[in-house]
Amino acid sequence: MMAKEQQRAELLEGRPVADSIKKEVAEEVSRLQQQGVVPRLAAVLVGQDAASAVYVRNKVRACAEVGIESEKIDLPPSTTSDELLAVVRRLNTDDNVDGILVQLPLPKQIDDSVIIEAIDPSKDVDAFHPTNVGYLAMGYPRFVPCTPAGIIELLDRNRIEIQGANACVVGRSQIVGRPVASLLLQRHATVTICHSKTRGLPAVTRQADILIAAIGRPAFIGGDFVKPGATVIDVGVNQVTNPDDARKYFGAEADRRIEAIEKRGYTLIGDVHPAEVDLVAGRRTPVPGGVGLLTVAMLMKNTVQAAKWRRGK
């Protein structure tokens, strides 16, 4: 028992990998600029959702870091579907725009799927358009959704073997769960997708060498869900506002997290219970500082790829 309590999972930090990807992107952007091509990303933010505003701001900042031009379009919360569609169609026909992202979620009066399907698939750097989803499912993707792509980069660059591994994805969203399962399958992992209707979930997830949690439920994946020595990828981003919960979830890190709650009213946690999982897993991604940084880096990579494809390079 003592040996188990002393074990601590190695943290798989996202920043070193994200920085490497952004450096590679910046070098590619520099080569394109020498050929007269300047990649450009248009980011559309509808409404005043605080988290969405932070995400868009981070993406615009990353563009500046790697040399991609960016255009941020702010629309009021009252924007209608027709008004947003008009913006998307303008960007579709603007030859100076290589990538278009419409930050989700959208206000309730707008149907996300209608907007996603209106984006030119060749500029769909989020890779949510049905055409790009189909390419990915068939095994020859044009773009890969940024979070799943970042997860694969994280595994590869940390030399975590995918081929032959048992991989379990908890969550079946079109944004993370399904595409990352497809990517893992294409890399010859044996893949299980779990969800809210899965029976005996901990027994299923305990078979996984690579466990990916993407369900949006704070600290849901406890130690009893994890195979000893497994790699655990935490995609969730949730808020903890209660200091007592922070003490329960974060163990030795609790004091720092409680200070964050006192300062700004919350601290972030993923879908994984860090204090429990760290006693079982071999590796774990932190929240924050893990997968989210890779999502932004892969958006930069997709934007450059769009610029090259659209010009036949």
Please report the pLDDT score of residue 7 as a whole number. 66
Please report the pLDDT score of residue 194 as a whole number. 97
- All domains of the chain, ordered by start, with CATH? 37-124 (3.40.50.10860), 146-290 (3.40.50.720)
**Distances from the Cα of 233 to the Cαs of 12, 163, 176, 202, in angstroms?**
8, 17, 12, 16
Could you tell me the pTM of the whole model?
0.94
Q: Mark the ranges of the chain whose per-residue pLDDT is less than 70.
A: 1-7
Q: Are strands 10-11 and 283-284 parallel, antiparallel or unpaired?
A: parallel
Please report the pLDDT score of residue 164 as a whole number. 98
Please report the pLDDT score of residue 311 as a whole number. 86
Q: Can you name the residues that pair with 234 across neighbouring β-strands?
A: 213
> Model confidence over 98-113: pLDDT tens digits?
999 999 999 999 999 9
Please report the pLDDT score of residue 8 as a whole number. 86
> Model confidence over 283-293: pLDDT tens digits?
999 999 999 99
Please report the pLDDT score of residue 2 as a whole number. 37
Please report the pLDDT score of residue 6 as a whole number. 53
| Residues noted as catalytic | 59, 103, 126
